[in-house]
Structure 1
Amino acid sequence: MNKTEQQINNYFLQLQSAFPEFDTQEKKIFEPTETDFPFSWKDPFKASDNVLKVLARHIGLNPNRIELMFYSDYPEEDVENPNAIYLRFKNNKKATLKDYQSNIKRFAFNIDASVFEYADWVIAAIAHEICYLKLLENGKFDVKEEKLIDIATVYFGFGKLSSIAVTKQSEITSKKFGSLN
């Protein structure tokens, strides 16, 4: 087993130990279908909020502590990463376990509203960030490890969503910024 395979295996073992309830043959595997997300994308803001609620509840997070915020709602200088979804606290503080456990603090997922035509990518991006919060809530994980978050998406049943998002990301980047070749 090479070093990367060993690291992935270690991440899975950590996740199994921390969240054994997700290590079952009957685990729900989400797909970007109307069966798993039975709502219209005519109003993408509402649809994204519904996605957040479905996925947060699936992994045991309170969706009322998480808010979706959209770049079109921000002044230009407040947008840190204009081609992504990212996490921050409503009070702009760096994310810490103590902040997550506070009853007052709330998380905000910031989404570039221009990517709404890629509903499957938005679903996958929200799933990724939800996994980050789940690991942060647990307190035993190095949430700076992006590979760990990616493995967690698979572990919690969001792997098919993530695989589709990888394909869509290049399409989104190409459309927004042109071909890089």
Structure 2
Amino acid sequence: MINRLPTIPLLRVLLLSSGTVLLAACATGQGSTPIDTIQSWFSRKDKGVRQPGEKLVSPPDVVWKERNCARLQRPYIDIDLNEILPSRVPAGEEFNHRMVYSMCPLRTGEGVVGDLSRRITFKGNTVFEDISRRFEIKPGKWQLDAFIGIPAEAPAGVYALEVAFSGGSVRFQRSANLVVSRR
């Protein structure tokens, strides 16, 4: 005879877990819809596991094959991801900016050196700018993470984060929006 412990059906466990997350999210919603609150909760959870700095995602030989670099004008750089987490940030907190790029070099192992800047604008005015001089875009696929704080006195509204690079014959610029709210 097999000894069986009493079990809760899987569906009931999932419903109870989902309900708990939903209730916790709604309790902290402060005027947001439940869906917005849940998305914000997951964004903050994802942001919490990220670390600042750069990380190799795919080595140069893998990117060379995936992108068919031999047929491209090089150096070739593609921005695979330009993301802000969370996209809604209360004044006084920070957000994560993640950029992922893929690079095919002109010559094996050769990067491109230039200036990488992040600029935040609000209503057309620059409110923050950070420039990394002599930043190297490296062959392969790389992930860059930075954490940027929003001052507690920042006005509520839609802000734009612009990331740009200029070095040698390589130039790119991308932007993403974030919403700053007052607590």
Interval of TM-score (by shorter of Structure 1 and Structure 2): under 0.3
Which has a greater percent of helix? 1
Bigger Rg over Cα: 2
TM, length-normalised to structure 2: 0.25
The higher-RCO structure (CA 8 Å, 6+ apart) is 1
Which has a greater percent of strand? 2
TM, length-normalised to structure 1: 0.25
